[in-house]
C-alpha cells in the first residue's frame, strides 16, 4: 500500500533529484501553486535537483516562457524536459517522414521551429522537415486539438480515418488524454492518438509513460549530477497512467498527487485522504505509487 505523506519535506532527504510534473502539480495552466513552488525551492536549497518533466508538446524554451508567465520562478527548478523535446528528436530523425501534416493549434508552431540546445546538433545534420496539407503528407505530427476549448476527438474522426486509409503514422507529441485548464477539462493530443489507434492507425508516443522522455530526462540530469542513480530519483505527478505508470516502469520511486486529475475521489479533505477509497481506486488501476500526497507542498 502506498504511504501517505503530508509534505515533500517528509521524504526529501531520501532523494537527490525529483522529476516533477507541471499541470495539476505545479500549476493549473493559469497560475502557479504557491505551496508546490515552495516545496521545490526548499528541496533545491537542501541540495536536491529539480527536473520538470512534462507532457507539453512544445519544446523546452517555449515551456520555460509559459512558466515565466504563470509565475513559476526559476529558483524552483534546474532543468525542463518536455514530451515535445523527445518527440522532436524522433521527428528530426525521420520517424514519420519529412513531409508532415500538423494536427494541432498554431500556438504549437514552435514544435517545428524551436529546439533545446542539445537537439540543435541533431537538427543540423538532418534534411528539413516541411509542413504540408494532409493529402501530401508522409506522416502526421499531432500536438493537440486545433481548438481544445470547444472541440472533442469526435470532431477529427474524418481526418483520422483518411490518414489511416493512407497508412500514415501519427507522431503524438503529448500522450495526455485530458488536462485541467483552470476549472475546465480539455482534451489533449493523446486523446486523438488513442482514437487513431482504436480505428486501426499507428501512433508513436514519446512522453510519459513511454521510455523516450525518461531517457532524455536521465541524460539531462546526468549533465547536472552525473552520480545520480535510479534510487536517488522521485517521480512526482497527478497522472496515474502517465506520471505514476511511467515512473514505476522505469524502476523509479513515485509520489502520486491525488488532488489533481483525480481530485475528490478520496473524500472531501485533501489533507486527510480516505485511505480505504484510495486503496480501492489504486487497486482498480493496478498501480501502487511509493508515496501519495493530496497537494504538492
Which pTM does this prediction carry? 0.88
Residues 277, 274: Cα–Cα separation, whole Å: 5
- Cell numbers of 183, please? 476549472
Q: 21 is written with which cell numbers?
A: 510534473
- Per residue in 237-253, pLDDT tens? 999 999 999 999 999 99
Whether 121 shows a pLDDT value over 80: the answer reads: no
pLDDT tier at 116 (50, 70, 90 boundaries)? Answer: confident
Interval 2-30 mean pLDDT: 95
**Alpha helices by DSSP H, the chain:** 34-45, 60-70, 83-92, 110-113, 117-124, 157-165, 189-198, 211-224, 245-249, 275-285
Digit-coded pLDDT (tens) for 142-171: 999 999 889 999 999 999 999 999 999 999
Cell 527548478 sits at which residue?
77
The yes-or-no verdict on residue 182 having pLDDT over 80 is: no
Amino acid at each position: 500500500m502506498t504511504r501517505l505523506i503530508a509534505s515533500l519535506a517528509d521524504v526529501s532527504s531520501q532523494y537527490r533529484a525529483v522529476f516533477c510534473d507541471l499541470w495539476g502539480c505545479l500549476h493549473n495552466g493559469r497560475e502557479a501553486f504557491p505551496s508546490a513552488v515552495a516545496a521545490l525551492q526548499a528541496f533545491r536549497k537542501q541540495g536536491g535537483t529539480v527536473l520538470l518533466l512534462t507532457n507539453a508538446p512544445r519544446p523546452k524554451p517555449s515551456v520555460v516562457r509559459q512558466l515565466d508567465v504563470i509565475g513559476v520562478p526559476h529558483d524552483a527548478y534546474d532543468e525542463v524536459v518536455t514530451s515535445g523535446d523527445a518527440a522532436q528528436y524522433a521527428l528530426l530523425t525521420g520517424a514519420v517522414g519529412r513531409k508532415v501534416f500538423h494536427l494541432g493549434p498554431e500556438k504549437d508552431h514552435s514544435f517545428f521551429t524551436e529546439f533545446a540546445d542539445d537537439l540543435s546538433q541533431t537538427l543540423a545534420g538532418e534534411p528539413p522537415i516541411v509542413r504540408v496539407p494532409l493529402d501530401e503528407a508522409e506522416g502526421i505530427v499531432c500536438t493537440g486539438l486545433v481548438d481544445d476549448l470547444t472541440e472533442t476527438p469526435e470532431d477529427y474522426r474524418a481526418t483520422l480515418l483518411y490518414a489511416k486509409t493512407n497508412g500514415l503514422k501519427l507522431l503524438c507529441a503529448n500522450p495526455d488524454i485530458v488536462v485541467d485548464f483552470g476549472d475546465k477539462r480539455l482534451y489533449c493530443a493523446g486523446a486523438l492518438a488513442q482514437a487513431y489507434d482504436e480505428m486501426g492507425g499507428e501512433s508513436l508516443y514519446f512522453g510519459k509513460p513511454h521510455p523516450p522522455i525518461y531517457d532524455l530526462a536521465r541524460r539531462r540530469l546526468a549533465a547536472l549530477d552525473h552520480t545520480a542513480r535510479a534510487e536517488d530519483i522521485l517521480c512526482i505527478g497527478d497522472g496515474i497512467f502517465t506520471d505514476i505508470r511511467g515512473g514505476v516502469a522505469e524502476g523509479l520511486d513515485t509520489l502520486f498527487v491525488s488532488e489533481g486529475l483525480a481530485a475528490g475521489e478520496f473524500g472531501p479533505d485533501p489533507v486527510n485522504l480516505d485511505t480505504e477509497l484510495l486503496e480501492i481506486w489504486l487497486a482498480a488501476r493496478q498501480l501502487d505509487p511509493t508515496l501519495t500526497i493530496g497537494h504538492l507542498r
